[in-house]
Chains A and B, each alone.
Chain A
Amino acid sequence: EAHLEESGGGLVQPGGSRRLSCFVSGFTFSAYSMSWVRQAPGKGLEWVANIKKEGIEKSYVDSVRDRFTISRDNTKNSLYLHMNSLRAEDTAVYYCVRHRAGTGTTFFDYWGQGTLVTVSS
């Protein structure tokens, strides 16, 4: 059974930086694309970024492009999200998710429990 566990959340001042990590087990990490999805308090789900299995191709939602960087280390079964220039609106629970890709589509079949990032002075 796949297991994803996020870490690195906490309180950060506006303009600050934070690195989130996600350690996975129970499946061949290098065979799957991965994403970060976030959820602001009391709000809906927002896809943040994805990274293909080789770690080369990446995509970002417009609101975090140029501030966040997604990366992975397939030798360590780990996914990362480097967040810079954090804003209050980045406050959210951040989920690490595994992609299942199909013809012309992709969806998320496994989710971590999430890690809360709070941006506040």
Chain B
Amino acid sequence: SYVLTQPPSVSVAPGKTARISCEGNKIGTKSVHWYQQKPGQAPVLVIHYDSDRPSGIPERFSGSNSGNTATLIISRVEAGDEADYFCQVWDRSSDHVVFGGGTKVTVL
């Protein structure tokens, strides 16, 4: 089965840029989607199709995907960005949805 690997945690100072990686075999050939989950809340889609933002998501959120790594980029980080972030792909061979293990972003 397809596996997505994320770092458990990322720390960033306010106003700086956070980069969250999501590694998978030839992930650049797949579409990657990202979710933000704050404590006690349901996840929210923040990036779809590697780099597109749904309506209502700030421009500070962006993404890239190439080779074996997809990246969620949060620019000008704010205290309100502190949350868990999960990457997700669809594995065509198994018709299964796969999530990464999640990355906790801490704003210093």
Contact = CB atoms under 8 A, between A and B. Distances in A.
Tell me whether A and B are bound partners.
yes
Contacts of A47: 96-99
Interface string B36-48: 0100001111001
Given A35-B97, A50-B97, A45 B43 contact: yes
A37 to B, nearest CB: 8
B38 to A, nearest CB: 13
Contact of B99 (A45, A50, A59): A45
B70 to A, nearest CB: 13
Interface string B79-98: 00000101011101011111
B33 to A, nearest CB: 4
A111 B43 CA distance: 7
Contacts, number: 63
14 contacts: A44-B100, A45-B35, A45-B86, A45-B88, A46-B99, A47-B99, A102-B49, A107-B48, A107-B88, A108-B35, A108-B45, A108-B88, A111-B43, A114-B42
Interface of A: 35, 37, 44-47, 50, 59, 61-62, 95, 100, 102, 104-109, 111-114
Interface of B: 1, 30-31, 33, 35, 37, 42-45, 48-49, 54, 84, 86, 88-90, 92, 94-102
Q: A-B pairs with the 4 shortest C-beta distances?
A: A105-B31, A47-B97, A107-B33, A44-B102
